[in-house]
Amino acid sequence: MLKLNVIDETAPLKAVVLGTAESCGPIPKPEEAYDPKSLEHILAGTYPKEADMTKEMEAFAAVFEKHGVTVFRPSVLVNCNQIFSRDIAFVIEDRLFHANILPDREKEFQAIQHVVDQIDPSKVVYPPEEVHIEGGDVMPWHNYIFVGTYTGADYPDFITARTNKAAVEFLQEQFPHKTVKAFELRKSNTKAKENALHLDCCFQPVGKDKAIIHKNGFLVEEEYQWLIDFFGQENVFEINADEMYQMFSNVFSISPEVVVSEQGFTRLNNWLRDQGFTVEEIPYAEIAKQEGLLRCSTLPLVRA
């Protein structure tokens, strides 16, 4: 049996589900795009090729192997994009939550059933239908659970609005001993530089007390300021709109000392090294064209 354990974003990783780019299907039609960045590349003819994305994911898998992490992969579905395993489920403490995602992505969860079968069934939670939630919006951080959300009345109009108010309330009920802290995110169906698809597209903790953040990803300045005060200005790496667009905040921590990052993120990677981190640089720029990066491709199951 797999004994799940995740209480924060950076404790030493023992087991993870890494998505797959195999058989991810033809280039979507513009009307099939889930986010503005993918749409941009579909229209420009620069949408990433399967072979390139597979190569990038194998480089990520090799880093996990180097650090002794147990890696599970989804069963490959024909013509289905299964790169972003973070969207379909997430773990907090010793429970795995099935994410209520866009309905046509449900089969992606079924493709990790061989992993779910190794978990005590009483530890697998299926939230009620009205709870819309995706793993990219959920960040356990010790006594807190940080949650990206959008509660505007126009929520139904945004395919990019993924986690709703009911989800925030649901998590608070599930974890009464923790503080669930919600952050309103800026949403746009058409402008990628003004769309924080998930919380991890504009914020992520690293190490034990540091964070990467993009101010404009937050709709409410006080909520952004709360994070700055929480981590301390001197511990925060601020990214600009272009860096958010490139997904600078979507790196992935293997431990408090080791961060996996995209090889082109020079400014960030230099800062991380200056802070004493080991930075494992890999190519991931093709996958980034789909408005997701390293954290989005992973579903951590066990952190020590």
pLDDT tens for 223-234 read 999 999 999 999
- pLDDT confidence band for 37 (50 / 70 / 90): confident
Specify the pLDDT at position 101: 72
For residue 38, give the H/E element and its range.
helix 36-44
DSSP secondary structure letter of residue 167? H
Q: How far is CA 53 from the centre of its chain?
A: 17
Q: How many C-beta atoms lie closer than 10 Å to residue 258's C-beta? A: 20
Query: pTM score, two decimals?
Result: 0.94
Structure tokens at 279: 């930075």
Domain of 101 in residue numbering reads as 13-303
In three-state secondary structure terms, 58 is helix
| 4 domain residue, yes or no | no
- The SS3 call for residue 59 is helix
pLDDT on residue 140: 98
Of 301 and 191, the one with more pLDDT: 301
Q: How would residue 171 be classed by pLDDT, with cut points 50, 70 and 90?
A: very high
* Average confidence (pLDDT) over 62-86: 97
pLDDT of residue 291: 77
Say if 270 falls within a structural domain. Answer: yes
Specify if 214 maps to a domain: yes
93 located within any domain = yes
Largest CA distance in the chain: 49
26: number of CA atoms within 13 Å, CB side?
4
Which residues sit opposite 252 in a β-bridge? 260
pLDDT band at 159 (very low <50, low <70, confident <90, very high): low
Q: Per the structure, how many domains does the chain have? A: 1
Taking the C-alpha atoms of residue 19 and residue 21, their distance in angstroms, rounded to an integer, is 7
Kindly list the distances between the CA atom of residue 150 and the CA atoms of 23, 102, 106, 182, 212, in Å, as whole numbers in the listed order. Answer: 33, 16, 22, 9, 21
Give a yes or no: residue 146 inside a domain: yes
Tens of pLDDT, residue by residue over 121-135, are: 999 999 999 999 999
Q: What is the pLDDT of residues 247-277, one digit of tens each?
A: 999 999 999 999 999 999 999 999 999 999 9
CA-to-CA separations, 270 to 29, 36, 240, 241, 273, in angstroms, rounded: 38, 29, 16, 19, 5
Instruction: Supply the mean pLDDT for the chain.
Output: 93
State how far the Cα of 73 lies from the Cα of 75, in Å rounded to an integer. Answer: 7
Q: Is the dihedral of CA 156, 158, 159, 165 positive or negative?
A: negative
**What sign has the CA pseudo-torsion 2, 149, 291, 7?**
negative
- At 292, the pLDDT band (50, 70, 90 cuts) reads confident
pLDDT band for position 82 (50/70/90)? very high
Q: Which residues pair with 27 in a beta bridge?
A: none
Structure tokens at 148: 């990206």
CATH (domain of 274): 3.75.10.10
Residue 300: what pLDDT? Answer: 98
Q: Is residue 5 part of a domain?
A: no
- Residues near 56 by beta carbon (within 8 Å), at least 6 away in sequence: 21, 282, 283, 284, 285, 286, 287
Please tell me whether residue 41 adopts helix, strand or coil conformation.
helix
Give a yes or no: residue 6 inside a domain. Answer: no
Judged by DSSP in three states, 92 sits in strand
8 belongs to a structural domain:
no
Rounded Cα distance, 197 and 192, in Å: 9
What residues form DSSP beta bridges with 262? Answer: 282
